[in-house]
Each structure stands twice: as structure tokens, then as C-alpha cells.
């Protein structure tokens, strides 16, 4: 079934890398053009949004979506990877804080905060990922950067474990949140488990395992796992063009109001201030993304699909 285009919500298992999932999808679907929008660490499981065919060109619009995670933090000692796969970097402590102190600690990391990336991460220093230095045991600190944490909530406290939920902006290292929380509480901590439950409008309960995708594909039921191009970027207004409008857009030219057959959703502003509009042909297929052109009522394509 070559040539399929759209998004695939995958339930990534623990221990598999995001690249492993993409490689498996390429093999299952017999399609080389597959990528993903947002890496999950091997220790983490949960929602991975993959793209097939033309949908891979939508990376800039999906990579920056907010994320939702549920996880478990182990108090008592820190590790060199900031998670349970690493080696302890502090003596073990059993002097666990009270629940009120934990709740206050979580709140300290809400809002716009500055993170230093974990030593074992893909952030680069002098052109090399930090994990390269860490594996060589060469101490190098990554550059601090700003992230946004909308909510860092306590779900259950059973010392030494904290069960939490976090809603955060793209680029936030949950491992770093766990490590920094341990430092703030004075007892050390590391991430013991993590599940990504949401990315933008997508939710884990709507995702399929690789085994399910293999079965759906084998039975000729791609609609069971593939979200077609016509469903992408639903918050962007829809514009339906006539045949001449389609011809202009496919040649990279703007379309004037006379070429527009119908407008949908332009009475209000798109949810994303950087959003544009989606252009559809008479057959109902998505053909391009566009933004307002130089003249009133005109739309100029910036990504022809």
C-alpha cells in the first residue's frame, strides 16, 4: 500500500526508541517516507505521532505542540542520566520530605523556567550531542534554555515515589524536571517511569500499537490507523477552490476571491496565531497551506502538497 499520506498515532512501548518505531512502520507499511513529530526516550512509553508521505512536510506545525505526561519520580538519589537507567551520582537518602513540601516543590517548576539539558541528551555543544561527551566521561554542561511548564501536578505521594502529571511546552525535559526537583527538595531524585498521554489535540487512547497497525494494514484497513491529510491542522480555516484556483495554487500562484468556492472558519481567528489556512480542491482533497496574500481576499500558498 505505497503512497499513503497522513498521520499515524502510535503507542510506543518501553525500551524501543522513536527511531525503532519509525523503522518498524516503514517495514510494516512498505513505505520509506515516514518520520515522527517529537522524540520519546526509550524509558518512556506512550503517544508518538508519526507521519507518512506528504504529511512528513508538516513537521514545523506539529513539532511545537504542547505535551502531556504522566510519570513516576523516585526520591532518594540522583543518577547520571536523570532516570532509572543511569548510575547513582549521590548517596541514597531516606529523609523524604512531607507531602506539602513536595507539592510546593512541584509548583516551583511551573511557568517559564530555565533548564539545563541532561548530560545524556541530544542537545549539542560545539557540534556534538551531549551524550557523546557523557559516554567519554568528559564533563561538559549544556547551555541553559527556557521552557514552559503549564502544570506540574501531584497525583499520589507514596515515599520514595511521586506520581505526577505535567503539561508542558515542546522541548521540556521531564528527566530534568525530576532531577531538579530532587535537588530543590534536598534528597536527590530521578525519573522512574514516564508515559506521554497527549500531544496537542491527540490523545494516547486513540493510538494503536505496532501490532495493531500491522493487523489493520494486513487486512486492508488503513482507515483504522491512518489520519488522512484532509484531517490535519483542524484549527486552521478551510477554503475550497474551483478548478482554476487549484491550477494556480499548484503553480505556486496566489488565488483571488473569484477562485474561492467556499470559506469555512474564517469568521474567527485560528487557534494558532502563526496559523494560515488550508486550501482544498473540488474533490475534497487538501492541496496546499496558505496565508493572506498582498491583496484583500487573496491567499498565497506557502506549502503545496
Any idea which residues carry the catalytic annotation? 41
* CA-based torsion, 135, 139, 143, 147: positive or negative: positive
Q: What is the largest CA-CA distance in the chain?
A: 72
Q: Tell which residue, 177, 193, 192, 175, has the closest CA to residue 76.
A: 192
Q: How far apart are CA 21 and CA 62, in angstroms?
A: 18
Contact 184, 78 (CB under 8 A): no
Q: How far apart are CA 124 and CA 136, in angstroms?
A: 15
Amino acid at each position: 500500500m505505497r503512497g499513503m499520506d497522513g498521520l499515524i498515532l502510535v503507542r510506543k512501548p518501553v525500551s524501543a526508541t522513536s527511531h525503532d518505531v519509525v523503522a518498524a512502520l516503514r517495514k510494516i507499511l512498505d513505505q520509506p517516507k515516514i518520520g515522527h513529530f517529537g522524540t520519546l526516550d526509550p524509558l518512556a512509553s506512550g503517544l508518538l505521532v508519526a507521519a507518512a508521505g506528504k504529511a512528513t512536510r508538516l513537521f514545523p506545525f506539529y513539532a511545537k505542540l504542547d505535551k502531556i505526561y504522566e510519570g513516576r519520580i523516585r526520591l532518594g538519589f540522583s543518577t547520571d542520566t536523570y532516570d532509572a537507567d543511569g548510575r547513582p551520582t549521590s548517596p541514597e537518602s531516606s529523609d523524604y520530605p512531607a507531602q506539602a513540601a513536595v507539592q510546593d516543590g512541584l509548583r516551583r517548576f511551573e511557568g517559564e523556567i530555565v533548564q539545563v539539558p541532561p548530560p545524556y541528551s541530544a542537545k549539542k555543544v560545539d557540534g556534538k550531542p551531549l551524550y557523546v561527551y557523557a559516554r567519554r566521561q568528559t564533563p561538559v554542561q549544556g547551555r541553559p534554555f527556557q521552557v514552559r511548564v503549564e502544570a506540574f501536578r501531584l497525583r499520589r505521594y507514596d515515599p520514595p515515589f511521586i506520581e505526577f502529571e505535567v503539561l508542558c511546552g515542546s522541548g521540556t525535559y521531564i528527566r530534568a524536571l525530576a532531577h531538579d526537583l530532587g535537588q530543590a527538595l534536598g534528597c536527590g531524585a530521578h525519573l522512574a517511569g514516564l508515559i506521554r498521554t497527549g500531544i496537542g489535540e491527540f490523545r494516547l487512547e486513540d493510538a494503536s500499537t505496532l501490532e495493531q497497525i500491522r493487523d489493520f494494514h494486513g487486512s486492508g484497513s488503513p482507515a483504522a490507523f491512518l489520519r488522512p491529510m484532509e484531517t490535519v491542522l483542524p484549527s486552521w480555516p478551510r477554503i475550497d477552490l474551483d478548478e482554476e484556483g487549484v491550477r494556480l495554487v499548484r503553480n505556486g500562484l496566489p488565488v483571488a476571491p473569484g477562485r474561492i468556492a467556499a470559506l469555512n472558519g474564517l469568521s474567527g481567528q485560528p487557534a494558532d496565531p502563526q496559523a494560515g489556512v488550508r486550501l482544498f480542491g473540488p474533490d475534497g482533497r487538501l492541496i496546499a497551506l496558505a496565508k493572506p496574500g498582498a491583496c484583500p481576499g487573496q491567499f498565497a500558498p506557502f506549502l503545496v502538497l
